[in-house]
Chains A and B, each alone.
Chain A
Amino acid sequence: MIPASIARQRPPDGRLLVIDEQGVITHRARADLATLVRADDLVIANDAATLPASLAGVHLPTGGVVEVRLAGRDSLSPGEVTRFTAVVFGAGDFRTPTEHRPPPPALHPGDRLQLGPLRATVLAVLGHPRLIEVRFENPVAEIWEGLARHGRPIQYAYVPDPLAIWDTWTRIASQPVAFEAPSAGFILDWALIDLLRARGAAFATLTHAAGISSTGDAGLDRLLPLDEPYYIPASTARLIDACRDRGGRVIAIGTTVVRALEHAARADGSVRPGAGTATQRIGPDTSLRCVDAIVSGTHEPGTSHYDLLAAFQDGDVLRRMEHDADGCGYRTHEFGDSVFLTRSRMRRLKDPVLALAPRSDRKSDGDRYAIAEDPYGGLCCVQCHSRTWANRHEFPLL
């Protein structure tokens, strides 16, 4: 696919490749997204704002020039911005493709880095010469000021002009915790959100610290995605319960939303609200518990984002998607075209699980249902195949 090389979040000719639950592909305009959303659906987006996470500076022991790309963090707490996981490059900047960037000087625990106004110490080298744990030595307010003033958005060579920070913020950007833009959300603007509501659908958010998408090093890329902290508001968890109860679909805007929701999902598809850290990889063997459809950028085979799509549809459907997207000139990467991928009706849970019914339908704490995946890709009662949980059955095993 052709990389989208202009930093435009909603190009007027943007396209949307749609795959329904039977794996049938249609081509739409990106502006048509709202028409694919039904009255009972719930659309969930990642409202993380993007940090300017690329920090140019010097490796003090050698005087060598480095670019430090912040890539991970243990917590979303605004006060805990001292320690980060980071990927380090040698001389140069985004104009050189990452796979051609020289390595940084040899990094050792205790090495000092001067990154503009920020002083940092290498705490550990994490199994790869480019991957480190780093600690800022400035007070917290100075760290925020240093990131805000000195940092640049992480960027790749296929966009030739330097990105401004506002190029990387979605319309709904809130907490600055993402290291790269949660770019599936570029499709949203406030008018579209109003339109979703006008159609009777609900809109909710979570906050997920989207990590970096590529390091230019195959060995390092295999470690992606790194662990990513997230926060799911209680209001969002409640909207998910309500959506499941009325038989609507949970539509995730972006892979980060899928990763957070599935990490927090219980067997019955409801999610635990609050803070967590997504550590899992999602791929062809993953049984999705919560998410029914994803809106995503186009992704290329071999990336963790592409693997995640394989939880929604089988390999042959994804190969047809690739073939169609290539043949029709779809553009890829963060400013590119989009896909709307519905979970396949062919996928089945390997083993029906026994779990609690949605809380609102429980007569008492003892009310339990056996759950299976229904023909439309949602979770249903194994006894009557209902998704509305209106009928109650006895399950002697429980």
Chain B
Amino acid sequence: MSEEHQQALRVAITGGTSGLGLALVRELEERGAVVAFIARNREGVERVARDRPGAFGIVGDVSRKEDTHPLAIQVLGALGGLDVLVNNASSLGPVPLVPLADTDCEDVELALATNLVGPFRLTKALLGSLAASAREGRHPLVVNVSSDAAVTAYPGWGAYGASKAALHHLSRIWNEELASEGIQIISVDPGDMDTPLHARAVPDADRSTLRRPEAAAREIADLITGTVRGATGPFVARESEVVQ
């Protein structure tokens, strides 16, 4: 703990057992970060933990209020502090996609719980550690994974798009408020990727037109390492600069 500036980057990633989250676990670990990843399914967590023995797997559901602090305790217990939180776990809402008029209220609530309130709660519980990271001269960062559905009105993507739009705006406001603490909160759109989530939403998509999650993970990892390690100086990018 005493070598403040030589410590490895400490990163927590939600939804870390598939798609972009898993690609980020691998990419950031290979760049020397210490990574804790969170997912709901214990078998999935154990499978990834076997594949990545250096990473810490934690079982929990970010949409559940009762899981927030147990997750935070385990993240901090594993990493001894935190520099980066990636809120990546997402819920599509009803699958197959249906128009809003046919969407059950409960599905809207679940999308909001996973995509908006969950990231809010986990970020809030971990804010003390992120502020401590800032006071020790690092540049802590929260990355909220957004979507172009947060901006464009795609029919059928109502629950998901509305929740991601809210997350995007929450990121912008919180980023302004936390500037004095030295914590950045950004929202990034990784583009349409070939992931299990996309396959559930658009089962008949032409996968050759979709981005590999590894490519998006490299880009987000560049952003993280550039920001937190200060390699590119104080990072001032806003969401618009990283939208695909």
Q: Is the CB of B56 within 8 A of A170?
A: no
A144 and B78 contacting across the interface, CB-CB below 8 Å? yes
Interchain CB contact (< 8 A) of B70 among A81, A149, A275 = A149
B234 within 8 A of A: no
CB pair A233 B77 closer than 8 Å: no
> Using Cβ atoms and an 8 Å threshold, which residues of chain B touch A171?
127-128
In this assembly, does A1 line the interface, its C-beta being within 8 Å of a C-beta of chain B? Answer: no
A49 near B76 with CB under 8 A, answer yes
Chain B: minimal CB distance from A18 (Å): 27
- Residue on A with the closest CB to B2? A274
Q: Which of B121-161 contact A (CB under 8 A)?
A: 125, 127-129, 131-132, 135-137
Contact B80 A172 (CB under 8 A): no
Q: Which of B2, B58, B78, B132 contacts A273 (CB 8 A)?
A: B2
* B202-228 to A contact mask, C-beta < 8 Å, 1/0: 000000000000000000000000000
* Across-interface contacts of A176 in B (CB, < 8 A): 72-73, 76-77
| Whole-angstrom distance between the Cβ of A240 and the nearest chain B Cβ | 13
- Complex CA distance for A78 and B4, rounded to whole angstroms: 16
Residue of B4, B69, B180 with most chain A CB atoms under a 10 A cut-off? B69
Taking a contact as CB atoms under 8 Å apart, the answer to whether B78 and A165 are in contact is no
Number of inter-chain CB pairs below 8 Å = 99
Shortest distance from the beta carbon of A77 to any chain B beta carbon, whole Å: 7
Residue from the list B73, B129, B135, B177 in contact with A148, Cβ < 8 A: B73
The one of B56, B72, B135, B137 in contact with A205, judged by C-beta atoms closer than 8 angstroms, is B135
Question: Which residues from chain A contact B71 at a C-beta distance below 8 Å?
Answer: 148
Q: A275 to B3, alpha carbons, bound, how many Å? A: 11
Count chain A CB atoms within 10 A of each CB in B1, B56, B80 and give the residue with the most: B1
- A197 cross-chain contacts in B, Cβ below 8 A: 180
Assess whether A234 is interfacial by the CB under 8 Å rule: yes
Cross-chain contact B79 with A78 (CB below 8 angstroms) = yes
Q: Smallest CB-CB separation from A191: which chain B residue?
A: B177
> What are the residues of chain B within 8 A of A233 when measuring CB–CB?
4, 132, 135-136
A233 to B180, CA, bound (A): 19
Are the CB atoms of B70 and A78 closer together than 8 Å?
no
Residues of B contacting A: mostly: helix
Please report the C-alpha to C-alpha distance between residue A100 and residue B195 in the assembled complex, in whole angstroms: 58
Q: Which B residues are CB-close (under 8 A) to A395?
A: none
> Does residue B107 face the partner (Cβ distance < 8 Å to A)?
no
A171 to B77, CA, bound (A): 18
Chain A residues with CB under 8 Å of B58's CB are: 145
Q: Name the distance in Å between A168's Cβ and chain B's nearest Cβ.
A: 9
The reply on B191 being an interface residue by CB < 8 A is no
The reply to whether the CB of A231 lies closer than 8 angstroms to some CB of chain B is: yes
Does residue A41 face the partner (Cβ distance < 8 Å to B)? Answer: no
B236 vs chain A, min Cβ distance (A): 21
At the interface, yes or no: A47 with Cβ under 8 Å from chain B?
Answer: yes
1/0 contact trace for A349-378 toward B, CB 8 Å? 000000000000000000000000000000
In-complex Cβ contact of B2 among A141, A174, A275 (8 A): A275
Given contacts A141-B56, A149-B70, A231-B1, contact A78 B136 (CB under 8 A): no
Question: Inside 8 A of A205's CB, which chain B residues have their CB?
Answer: 132, 135
Question: Which residues of chain A come closer than 8 Å to B44, judged between CB atoms?
Answer: none
Shortest distance from the beta carbon of B77 to any chain A beta carbon, whole Å: 4
Complex Cα–Cα for A231 and B136 (A): 12
Cβ-based interface call for A235 (8 A)? yes
Please report the C-alpha to C-alpha distance between residue A389 and residue B151 in the assembled complex, in whole angstroms.
Answer: 59
Q: What chain A residues lie within 8 Å of B72 (beta carbons)?
A: 49, 176
Contacts of B128 in A (CB 8 A): 47, 49, 169-174
Report if A76 contacts B (CB, 8 A): yes
Complex Cα–Cα for A51 and B69 (A)? 10
Cα distance, A149 to B42, chains bound together (Å) = 15
Interface residue? B103 (CB, 8 A) = no
Closest to A145 in B: B74
Tell me if A32 is interfacial: C-beta within 8 Å of chain B: no
- Which residue of chain A lies nearest to B180 when distances are taken between CB atoms in the complex? A194
Are A172 and B131 neighbours in the complex by a CB distance under 8 Å?
A: yes
**Given A169-B69, A235-B137, A144 contacting B74 (CB threshold 8 A):** yes
| Whole-angstrom CA separation of A205 from B125 in the bound complex | 17
Taking a contact as CB atoms under 8 Å apart, the answer to whether B137 and A166 are in contact is no
Asked whether A294 is an interface residue with its Cβ less than 8 Å from the other chain, the reply is no
B129 with A78: CB separation less than 8 A = no
Confirm or deny: A253 has a beta carbon within 8 angstroms of a beta carbon on chain B.
no
User: Could you list 5 A-B pairs, sorted by A, with CB under 8 Å?
Assistant: A148-B73, A148-B74, A166-B125, A175-B81, A275-B2
- Give the 6 A-B residue pairs with the shortest CB-CB distance, closest first: A144-B77, A148-B70, A148-B73, A174-B128, A78-B80, A174-B129
Which residues of B come within 8 Å of A, CB atoms?
1-2, 4, 56-59, 68-74, 76-81, 125, 127-129, 131-132, 135-137, 177, 180-181
Using a CB–CB cutoff of 8 Å, the interface residues on chain A facing chain B are: 47, 49, 51-52, 76-78, 81, 141, 144-145, 147-149, 165-166, 169-176, 190, 193-194, 197, 204-205, 207, 231, 233-236, 273-275
Using A144-B74, A174-B131 as known contacts, list a sample of 5 further A-B pairs with CB atoms less than 8 Å apart, ordered by residue number in A. Answer: A144-B78, A169-B125, A176-B73, A194-B180, A275-B1
